[in-house]
Structure 1
């Protein structure tokens, strides 16, 4: 009878330890979600932007991620005014207009007074410049001269950015003209 009791106790210990490990994993996962969710939600609200990847390809319908982010933004905009950015990306004009219309419909269904928010194709979080314009400026397309700067390269020598000559780099290293 003793061997059965020892075996039973050993099995109980293994099961108890196994359950504790599972409980600890579940607790850790729950804690991680509790810490990450508010940070993620705050970032989405701060960004207040829907990107092309929030939409099904070549469609005005939102993806699962798009619905999740828009639901969060709708909760925010139901009690706050502000701006919602819907990035056009490479969507043709007609598709972009359909996306904007669909987002307005979903916001209205969620109880948001759409006339209280501004919807635009703008950058997340506020002022800035789309990369397409930066490329155009760097190529000289707008007539604006790009900012230049001198910095140390990983090899310890001075390097220069767009618009500088090698003479500028030489002066940056402390050499004479």
Structure 2
């Protein structure tokens, strides 16, 4: 029997969520700068990546299809874009800002679509590699049984004898060798 590796739990789940977060943050930052925005602070980018990773790992609880990955990535892109616009300086005129906004939106949309397709492929690759490794790796052997004496729980005595104790003592006297020879 083969080992079953599950990419929806543990380290593989975290890997999938962090992969989406890293690509989303990099895509948003590069797209923002390429479309004419100013480069965001490194600490801000790292904070956004951690926030996206937290949400992405939470969504990695099961295998997602292309639409779910595109929606998650698109939402992360929109949120990151809005935060970068609000927190970074723009030095554009009114007319060029409208054109730049549409250019930036088109660049984000195209890059998000391409990245989502790549992440769908990565998702399939991770699940395929987990299945292949599960077929090759040896099965875990069960732990051997532990042979230990059972501990009997003896209730604490209060020092008072009940009528039942006295009756049982008379009916079942102690047996054994004599104390003296």
**Common fold, TM-score beyond 0.5?**
no
Structure with greater strand percent: 1
Larger radius of gyration: 2
The TM-score, its normalising length taken from structure 2, stands at 0.25
The higher-RCO structure (CA 8 Å, 6+ apart) is: 2
Structure with greater helix percent: 2
The TM-score, its normalising length taken from structure 1, stands at 0.26
